[in-house]
Each structure stands twice: as structure tokens, then as C-alpha cells.
């Protein structure tokens, strides 16, 4: 277990086009941190800088408090699972898993023992003598994982390790990784573009977009208290509804009929465009008038069954609105409905900057 800290770290591959911008990230020893963000936002670059595979253009990286910018990767005591696995094709599964031990001069008998333990843990015991090309995607993924955990590193980095797996295997591997983290008691940094993975795995989530770290907090805080429009839209499934509105006379207003959003605007936003965010799972659907504080009227356009729930897509005067409703709700296609929200469930953002405005 060791702490990792990035202080004002930036990275440019070409001059003047930074792909990671002034990131500050303080990771506690033993913490499980998930870096999440859309494809191309700089997640892999961040991870590669921590690993030492990419030079840091400016800023400071500290590992265990010590400046680590110039420490070569093999001396950082970091193990990594690569996005494309990067298994050694000429070595068997056992040799792949034991490679890091061999590099450290661990004796052959001890190596074999450790390989067997890891293989057992990852259910690879039957494949130890196969070459990577003879394995399925899921098995390769586990070998990649096994190669990283065969030695006791202080930090483990995982770059989208589950992205190539099917949904079923993904969820079982997710549980496996969480379990591994508890066993290894090591600092873990995990990269994904999948917000569900982030929410289920992380002690803390770092949300990135376009090279900027937008928010770094626990999954609950990120979900309940997103710092910006982007975070609010990115975290949560199905995604948050956004309604464009305007601050007029201290109140959020839309010009559309059948819509009521009685939220007070702070005086400095008078006349500004704002965005109201409403989570689909907080909406209350009724055929008649429920008289909730926030209300939309609309027509049901599409119903998706997700098993326990249904996703109701409604057309309202302010645009499409998605609500998660219990299966029992007696709603049919084409019904005219009223969709209600409590004011406490509404998020307000400044449209220009995407900044969250806290409602008092």
C-alpha cells in the first residue's frame, strides 16, 4: 500500500496540444480509484504517466511521498494490466504469469508455487501450458490479470481490463477484481469508460473529460452531488434528463406550456441560460395531476422493459424526458401523462460554463 499523488500534472504529445491538463489527484494508500471518462479524454495517458511509460510534461508525480517523475517503470513497484492484455505470445500461460517473478530473480520452485496459487485463484490451472493464442478472450484477460498480481506490487494499474468481455463475464470479473483488491490490500487505479463499472468498483471516482479532472469523490457523492453538467450527464444510467431554461425574475422559467419548474435562481444568474437536471429514477409518473412542485405534461412515445423496471420515454413541450417507472405502473403507449419531481431532486447548472449551481 502506498500513496500516489499528482500535482498539477500536464501532458502534451505535441507542443501546445495538452491531452492531460493540470490534474491534481491525491490517492490514499490502499484506495481503489476509478478514472472514468469518455474515450480519448486522457485516461490511458494518466495511467501511463503513473506507470512511467510516458514522460510527464509538467507537474509532479509522487509515489509514497517521493517525487517519481524520473523513476523508470521497472523501479516503481507498479504492476499493470494493459487494455489490449499485451500477453507475451511466445510464452505459455505459466511463463506469462511467472515473468515478473523471473525478472526479479525469484527461484524456479517458488515461482511455480506462486504461479499455481494465482492460476487457481483465476481458474486458469487447466491452461498453464497453453499459449495465449489458444485462449478465449476471457481467459486472456485473466492471464493478463494473473501476470499483474503474481508479484506483490504496491500499486496495481488496470486500463479498461474488462472492455473486451461479454456482459456476463464482465460482471463476474468485476466482483473478482473487487475481491482481489480486498485480498491484495494494495492501491489500485482502474481506468474505464463505463460509469457502471466506476460506480460499482470505486472507493473514489475521478471523472475526466477532455484532459481535465472534473470531480474526484466517492461514488455516492458523485451521483448525489455532481459538480458539473458533464459529470451529472456521464454518471448515472439511464442518463440524467436535461431541460434548457432561463432565469427570469429570480425563478427558473421555460417558455413552454404545461411545464412548471419553480426553482429560485441566485440573483447573479438573472437573465442567464441554465440547464435543469432531473434523474430518470426520481420522476413520478401519473395519469392525472399529482401536483408535485415540478411538473411536465407529455405523451408516452416508447416503453422499454429492463426487467424490474420500465423506461418510459415521453415527449414533452420542453423535449424528450425519460423516466424509470415500476413495472406495475399502468401506462401504455400514447398515454398522456404528468411527470412530477420534488424540487430537492432537481440539479441546476449554468449553461455557459456547465458549472453546478447549488440550490439553497
Partner 1 sequence: MNTSGVLLRTTAVAVGLLFLSPLLYGIWISLQTANGFFSGNGEMTLQNYVDAVEKMNFLRYLFNSLIVSGGVTILSLATSIMAAYAFSRFEFRGRDLIFGLVVATLMIPGHITLIPNYLNFAKVGLLDTYAGLILPAVANGFATFFLRQYFRGIPRSLDEAAWMDGANAWKVLYRVIIPMSKPAIYAMGLFIFLGEWNSYVWPLIATDSPDMLTLQIGLARLYKMDAQEGLVNWPLVMAAATLTMLPVLLGFALVERHLVRGISMGAIK
Ligand X SMILES: Nc1ncnc2c1ncn2[C@@H]1O[C@H](COP(=O)(O)OP(=O)(O)O)[C@@H](O)[C@H]1O
- Number of neighbours of residue 295 by Cβ within 10 angstroms: 20
Select from 30, 42, 52, 138 the one that contacts ligand X (CB under 6 A). 42
231 binds partner 1 (CB under 8 A): no
127: three-class secondary structure by DSSP: helix
Residues 86 and 92: their CA atoms lie apart, in Å, by 13
Residue 58 pairs in a beta bridge with: 10
Binding positions for partner 1, 109-168, rule CB under 8 A: 147, 151
Q: Which of 15, 16, 66, 72 binds partner 1 (CB under 8 A)?
A: 72
- Name the H helices within 108-226: 108-121, 137-149, 167-184, 195-201, 219-224
Q: With respect to ligand X, which residue has the nearer C-beta, 11 or 154?
A: 11
Sketch the per residue contact string, 13 through 32, with ligand X: x for CB under 6 A, - otherwise.
x-----x-------------
The dihedral of CA 112, 118, 123, 129: what is its sign?
Answer: negative
Task: Give the three cell numbers for residue 87.
Answer: 500477453
Least separation in angstroms between residue 181's CB and partner 1 is 18
Count of residues that interact with ligand X, criterion CB under 6 A: 10
Distance, in Å, from the CA atom of 60 to the CA atom of 7, rounded to the nearest integer, reads: 5
Which residue, 105 or 288, is less far from partner 1 as judged by CB? 105
| Binds partner 1 (CB under 8 A): choice among 24, 58, 60, 103 | 103
The verdict on 74 binding partner 1 (CB under 8 A) reads: yes
**Residue 185 is a binding residue for partner 1 (CB under 8 A):** no
Comparing CB distances to ligand X, the nearer of 43 and 181 is 43
Which helix or strand (DSSP H or E) is residue 310 part of?
Answer: strand 309-316
Q: Are strands 273-278 and 346-350 parallel, antiparallel or unpaired?
A: antiparallel
Interface contacts to partner 1, rule CB under 8 A: 51-53, 72-74, 78-80, 82, 84, 86-90, 99-100, 103-104, 147, 151
Amino acid at each position: 500500500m502506498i500513496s500516489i499523488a499528482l500535482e498539477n500534472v500536464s501532458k502534451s504529445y505535441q507542443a501546445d496540444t495538452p491531452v492531460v491538463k493540470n490534474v491534481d489527484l491525491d490517492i490514499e494508500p490502499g484506495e481503489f480509484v476509478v478514472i472514468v471518462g469518455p474515450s480519448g479524454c486522457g485516461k490511458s495517458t494518466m495511467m501511463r504517466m503513473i506507470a512511467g511509460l510516458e514522460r510527464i510534461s509538467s507537474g509532479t508525480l509522487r509515489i509514497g511521498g517521493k517525487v517519481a517523475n524520473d523513476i523508470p517503470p521497472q523501479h516503481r513497484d507498479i504492476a499493470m494490466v494493459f487494455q489490449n492484455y499485451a500477453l507475451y505470445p511466445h510464452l505459455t500461460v505459466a511463463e506469462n504469469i511467472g515473468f515478473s517473478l523471473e525478472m526479479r530473480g525469484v527461484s524456479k520452485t517458488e515461482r511455480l508455487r506462486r504461479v499455481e496459487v494465482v492460476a487457481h485463484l483465476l481458474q486458469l490451472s487447466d491452461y498453464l501450458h497453453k499459449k495465449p493464442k489458444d485462449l478465449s478472450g476471457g481467459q486472456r484477460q485473466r492471464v493478463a490479470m494473473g501476470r499483474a498480481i503474481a508479484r506483490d506490487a504496491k500499486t496495481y494499474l488496470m486500463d479498461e481490463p474488462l472492455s473486451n468481455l461479454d456482459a456476463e463475464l464482465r460482471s463476474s470479473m468485476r466482483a473478482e477484481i473487487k475481491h482481489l483488491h480486498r485480498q491484495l490490500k494494495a492501491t489500485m487505479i482502474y481506468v474505464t469508460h463505463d460509469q457502471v463499472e466506476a460506480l460499482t468498483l470505486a472507493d473514489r471516482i475521478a471523472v475526466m473529460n477532455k484532459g481535465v479532472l472534473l470531480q474526484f469523490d466517492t461514488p455516492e457523492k458523485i451521483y448525489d452531488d455532481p459538480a458539473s453538467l458533464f459529470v451529472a450527464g456521464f454518471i448515472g444510467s439511464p442518463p440524467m434528463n436535461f431541460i434548457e431554461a432561463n432565469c427570469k425574475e429570480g425563478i427558473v422559467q421555460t417558455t413552454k406550456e404545461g411545464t412548471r419548474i419553480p426553482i429560485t435562481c441566485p440573483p447573479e444568474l438573472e437573465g442567464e441560460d441554465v440547464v435543469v437536471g432531473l434523474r430518470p429514477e426520481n420522476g413520478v409518473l401519473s395519469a392525472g395531476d399529482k401536483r408535485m412542485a415540478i411538473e411536465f405534461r407529455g405523451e408516452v412515445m416508447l416503453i422499454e422493459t429492463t426487467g424490474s423496471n420500465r423506461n418510459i420515454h415521453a415527449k414533452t413541450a420542453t423535449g424528450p424526458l425519460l423516466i424509470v417507472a415500476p413495472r406495475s405502473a399502468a401506462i401504455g403507449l400514447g398515454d398522456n401523462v404528468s411527470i412530477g419531481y420534488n424540487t430537492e431532486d432537481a440539479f441546476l447548472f449554468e449553461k455557459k460554463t456547465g458549472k453546478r449551481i447549488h440550490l439553497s
